[in-house]
Chains A and B, each alone.
Chain A
């Protein structure tokens, strides 16, 4: 008998969803009086690529920035509901945002390296967290640049200013910079929208590689990109999460009419 229950348990485990990194419950967000996110319930799973699509102004970037509370840089923001990151509510006023942002790295729409050397860009994160040992920093810089598949291009010019790199290289440098704080999650806000097709392809390949070690949430305007690289896709509209499912299902059998309209290009 015991043997049978064991098998049952194993089967249940296989069917179970992977671990949730984030669990968002009834999240509402306002910019002043503008209701930007409406009752969003949005689980995010470990070591997957989660894509968020939707027309401009639908709240997808706002939602992304709520996940590391960068949205609070806008002074008039207030929220209700909860976002649990690894079981802890990050919207709790006592939650230390610096700690959250050390575990949740971010890559922005426009490549935004610091006006410093390539080395100092990567070492910035570790340094602000108090790491001064040159050997450790060297090691982190190399690992991060390798992780972002850019080490071979820059290893001979680590002391040069990052502004001398191409846009695509700068964006991968920014990804490497995010890796240097050894994050758990990486948030990407339209990371390829400022890049040419070749650089875009490189970043997409990189995301596939990074997925093995990190959970990635990516906002994108490019539906083909979402279809290519993500495991799950969420469609947002006017601050609401309309549909959220495996990417294949969303693109092949959307359940909601509005999702279908959007992905077939009827609006947006």
Chain B
């Protein structure tokens, strides 16, 4: 009996395959370490530059043209106010849209077109949303560059992320659970409220975390909207003018050629922004895990 597999040629080829396997694992490791290395350098630079500038006065003070007196309380409050608009708007509109698309809409051509467009929207450059926000909220509704206009613009920007991830979470809830509920005489809404939404909540929250992180860090739409980094009074409501942390970072980095210290203030602000991101994400993850344990 002739054998095709147990031959000299196959053995030689096998050596090559094994060698390639080893070599490639090194290549992939390199790819990973490159990213981590760059991130490490960035962190190091920001921390060494920024840490000395972080103190209570910096965190709670007003903006000033004099670097040693400048504080970022205004930008922190602005970012928080922005979140206060973005979180409820995106969750209500995003989850609502997802529920409609996934559970109520009749699957047809129109539905497919809507679906494709929502997915495409998440790829639209953020500056385009800025122009949209400026046209509709700032000009047409005559709001100006206030918290509400900025928040709604940011909400539009991150809505597709929330919708798509919520839909995926809803789709992942096994059909036999809703069947059990419907089979007991529950209405569709009762089934959604009591069975589907609780089971989908961890997935929905994951999407919301992603969306929130994006909204906190975005600058371009707000630049278009005309959000300044000037000497503003602290924002106290939806119709106050405001600035946000990334905006502050942007302007200080821009002016670093005039006053060198601005560079360090920008680094300090980045640390604050990152800290806020971690706290917000951390909270969302804790909530998510709590529900995941239960379900």
Contacts and interface: CB of A to CB of B under 8 A. Distances in A.
A68 interface: yes
Contacts of B195: 114
A196 interface: no
A212 B39 CA distance: 71
A24 to B, nearest CB: 20
A68 B106 contact: no
A101 B295 contact: no
B180 A181 contact: no
A114 B178 CA distance: 9
A113 B181 CA distance: 10
A83 interface: no
B177 A101 contact: no
Interface in B173-196: 174, 176-177, 179-187, 190, 194-195
A153 interface: no
Contact of B185 (A75, A98, A114): A98
Nearest to A103: B185
Contact of B184 (A75, A110, A115, A181): A181
Contacts of B180: 108, 112-114, 174, 177
A105 interface: yes
Nearest to B176: A112
Nearest to B107: A75
Interface stretch (A8-16, A123-131, A217-225): A123-131
Contacts of A114: 177, 180-181, 195
Contacts, number: 61
A124 B184 contact: yes
A70 B186 CA distance: 12
Given A115-B199, A124-B194, A101 B184 contact: yes
A117 to B, nearest CB: 10
Which of B176, B179, B183, B186 has its CB near the most chain A CB atoms (within 10 A)? B183
Given A110-B176, A114-B195, A129 B185 contact: yes
A114 B196 CA distance: 10
A178 B184 contact: yes
A99 B179 CA distance: 16
Contacts of A129: 185
Nearest to B195: A114
A98 B187 contact: yes
Which applies to chain B's interface (DSSP): helix, strand, loop or mixed?
Answer: helix
A4 B180 CA distance: 54
Given A99-B185, A128-B185, A75 B176 contact: no
A101 B183 contact: yes
A131 to B, nearest CB: 12
Contact of A108 (B176, B194, B295): B176
B179 A108 contact: yes
Contacts of B187: 98, 128
A106 B194 contact: no
Contacts of A115: 177, 199, 294-295
A110 B175 CA distance: 12
B106 A105 contact: no
A18 B89 CA distance: 60
A70 B183 contact: yes
A73 interface: yes
Nearest to A187: B183
Contacts of A75: 106-107
A112 B180 CA distance: 7
B106 A128 contact: no
A13 to B, nearest CB: 34
B183 A68 contact: yes
B294 to A, nearest CB: 8
Contact of A70 (B177, B179, B190): B179
A102 interface: yes
23 contacts: A68-B183, A70-B179, A73-B179, A73-B182, A75-B107, A100-B185, A101-B182, A101-B184, A105-B184, A108-B179, A108-B180, A110-B176, A112-B174, A112-B176, A112-B179, A114-B181, A114-B195, A115-B177, A115-B295, A128-B186, A128-B187, A128-B190, A178-B184
Nearest 6 pairs of A and B residues by beta carbon: A102-B185, A112-B176, A106-B183, A101-B185, A125-B184, A128-B186
Given A75-B106, A174-B180, 18 more contacts: A68-B183, A101-B184, A105-B184, A108-B176, A108-B179, A108-B180, A112-B177, A112-B179, A114-B177, A114-B181, A115-B294, A124-B181, A124-B184, A125-B185, A128-B181, A177-B180, A177-B184, A181-B184
